[in-house]
Structure 1
Amino acid sequence: MDNAAYEAWFVPVMPHFKNFTVTVDDIIEDPGENKVAIWARSSASTEVGPYSGEYVLILYMNEGGDKITKLLEFVDSSHTVTFFPKLWEHLAQKANATGE
């Protein structure tokens, strides 16, 4: 997804996560290639149960190493494809029950 698509997908769902916490497990820097890789995990509570995620972020830096020029994110898709449909269904049922 590009930034606009990700924002449209993520912003509406974020309020449904409580106590969202990110833990960085490892950071690998490659100054020669101006890259940084981050392995991280997240957890939160939701109305449909606990959420957890695992990520690898790869940051491509400019020559000076002070700005990100490109970001790649890899997500634990196995958990994502099971968790989010359950959350979307719950939110739809809740909206139907309240007439939203």
Structure 2
Amino acid sequence: MKFTDLNPHGGIGANCTLCETGPFRFVIDSGIHPKYAGNESLPHHDLIQRNSLDFIILTHCHLDHLGSLPLLSRQHPDAPVLLSYASSILARR
């Protein structure tokens, strides 16, 4: 299994990890960094080829984990987002 940290700043914020195992490619979380604005607050989604994800996992509903999920979902419209029921209610808001 290969993990690629897509957070350009490290630490807390813009959490996003690309995971590759066997035939599967997926991302865990897609956040924004609270100390930066605009494109600087985003993970390196550009390192992921468009429409190449099998699915996206959302661990929980904090902005540093889901803030850029709409952008990632637009780049990978066929990738389902896997999340808990409670998170699905919060994510819709």
Structure number with higher helix proportion: 1
**TM-score (normalised: structure 1):** 0.28
**Relative contact order, higher structure (CA 8 A, sep 6+):** 2
Structure number with higher strand proportion: 1
**TM-score (normalised: structure 2):** 0.30
Which of structures 1 and 2 has the bigger CA Rg?
A: 1
